[in-house]
A and B are shown apart, each in its own frame.
Chain A
């Protein structure tokens, strides 16, 4: 087996074991996205009363899709990284012949797989309670969904890890993340589908990375996007991804030079 595969396997195993050690936390992660279901209720009521860009059943499916997307794309790297920098735990990790980011990536992947059963259970429970919302996406739709869901995770991870570089300068970079998290919620479409926004405003924020983190993958899962839209989204996402990764590497190098290994 090549060294690369051995490393991947080792990192995955240790992270998976770590994740399943405190399983209760995983259930709480699954529950913490209750926001989607709360807003589903509000918008369902609103679309029953007046005409919006989506019908009430579409709204229910949209927020269910939002729930699935957010389950797939939970990112917490900034909290883990902040702890490593502030407490000096980063120092011994830097000595290892592998970039520290891969630990975080593996931790996220392992967490996802460990949480998967709870997420599936919640979705199944939802369909059992409200069977009218049942829909089966076409295989090609599903394939596109996993592609864009995965891309959304990569982009969000890259953005958050780049903000996390601020830890080298401020020690409290997570408060910057609180602000971007709001943009993620509102412009990402977690509070209201972007279809309900005024069109000019939507045109503008479609150039920001946020709509592609929640709204777009959710729309893909609903099967209501054209090929042209898929292409445009892929172009904007990859543009942002490249820009963020370049910024990340520059900040990483500058930050490491400042890092004075507190506590190590």
Chain B
């Protein structure tokens, strides 16, 4: 474990430094995360303007979900997206061979090699919106340490889902736009599950578990989560993580080096 932590620290320090060469990018990262949040808040307002809203959620509670959504968007931008394009390049150019030879877990090497600073504004703004929503909905007292559990589970689940998509690169080779698919899926987390028709809720809980990414942590923050959901979210995250490892091993078995 200590060795992994050391390696990760080195990986992340170098990649962070490399990205910091493009400091001007930071302005655009801030602009786009602010724009994204502002647009989402605007659409949230559109729902409540005509008196429709989401059943069981006030507009401020909806904002908490938005904040959580923005935090996860930041995680995707900082960790998941930059690594995904590297995996695709590795497979396409055959440099995955060289990684497989190294005495370190291959999944760790391909999936957590890069940490980029461009998701930080999303996380910061998201946390601010979360705090504001909690404050306004007078639920601040209810938010507890317990929310760490579904949050952590959400991150693991997101990682596992994303890595499952990335692994298909071994079979399909060129899938740079898989990030778009992932973003499309995550977009469903912009709103609480109560906003969706029953059939959607079924899909987002059992097929693509988006519900566990934003709605469940937001409910926990608001202090009204039931124990079923609190137990289900780490279980789902574990299952997804194990699945991602199994699929990666299966993929490596059918990988034939391109570099020769």
Does A22 contact B173, Cβ atoms closer than 8 Å? yes
Partner-contacting stretch, out of B43-51, B103-111, B139-147, B151-159: B43-51
- Residues on A with C-beta less than 8 A from B43 are 186, 191-192
Does B22 contact A172, Cβ atoms closer than 8 Å? yes
Pick the residue among B31, B178, B195 that contacts A42 (CB under 8 A): B195
**Does A170 have its Cβ within 8 Å of any Cβ on chain B?**
yes
Number of interface residues of A (CB under 8 A): 37
Q: SS class of chain A's interface: helix, strand, loop or mixed?
A: helix
**Does B29 have its Cβ within 8 Å of any Cβ on chain A?**
yes
- Min CB distance A37 to B, Å, is 9
Partner-contacting stretch, out of B5-13, B125-133, B179-187, B236-244: B179-187
Interface string of B3-27 (1 = CB under 8 A from A): 0000000000000000000101100
Q: How far is the CA of A209 from the CA of B35 in the complex (A)?
A: 18
Pick the residue among A35, A41, A179, A186 that contacts B42 (CB under 8 A): A186
Q: How far is the CA of A172 from the CA of B28 in the complex (A)?
A: 10
Pick the residue among B51, B53, B176 that contacts A25 (CB under 8 A): B176
Q: How far is the CA of A33 from the CA of B176 in the complex (A)?
A: 15
User: In residues 164-190 of chain A, which contact B (Cβ within 8 Å)?
Assistant: 170-172, 175-176, 178-179, 182-183, 185-186
Does B52 contact A46, Cβ atoms closer than 8 Å? yes
- Residues on A with C-beta less than 8 A from B112 are none
Does B28 contact A179, Cβ atoms closer than 8 Å? yes
Q: For chain B, give the interface size range.
A: 35 or more
Pick the residue among B36, B39, B52, B175 that contacts A52 (CB under 8 A): B52
- Residues on B with C-beta less than 8 A from A51 are 50
**Does B196 have its Cβ within 8 Å of any Cβ on chain A?**
yes
Does A34 contact B35, Cβ atoms closer than 8 Å? no
**Does B177 have its Cβ within 8 Å of any Cβ on chain A?**
yes
- Residues on B with C-beta less than 8 A from A42 are 47, 191, 195-196
Known contacts A45-B195, A172-B24, A178-B32; A24 and B173 CB within 8 A of each other? yes
User: In residues 47-69 of chain A, which contact B (Cβ within 8 Å)?
Assistant: 47, 49-52
Does B46 contact A32, Cβ atoms closer than 8 Å? no
Does A46 contact B180, Cβ atoms closer than 8 Å? no
**A28, A46, A52, A172, most chain B CB atoms within 10 A:** A28
Pick the residue among A22, A44, A192 that contacts B197 (CB under 8 A): A44
Does A46 contact B28, Cβ atoms closer than 8 Å? no
Q: List 12 A-B contacts (CB under 8 A).
A: A24-B174, A25-B172, A28-B177, A28-B180, A34-B187, A38-B187, A50-B52, A52-B50, A171-B22, A179-B28, A186-B42, A191-B43
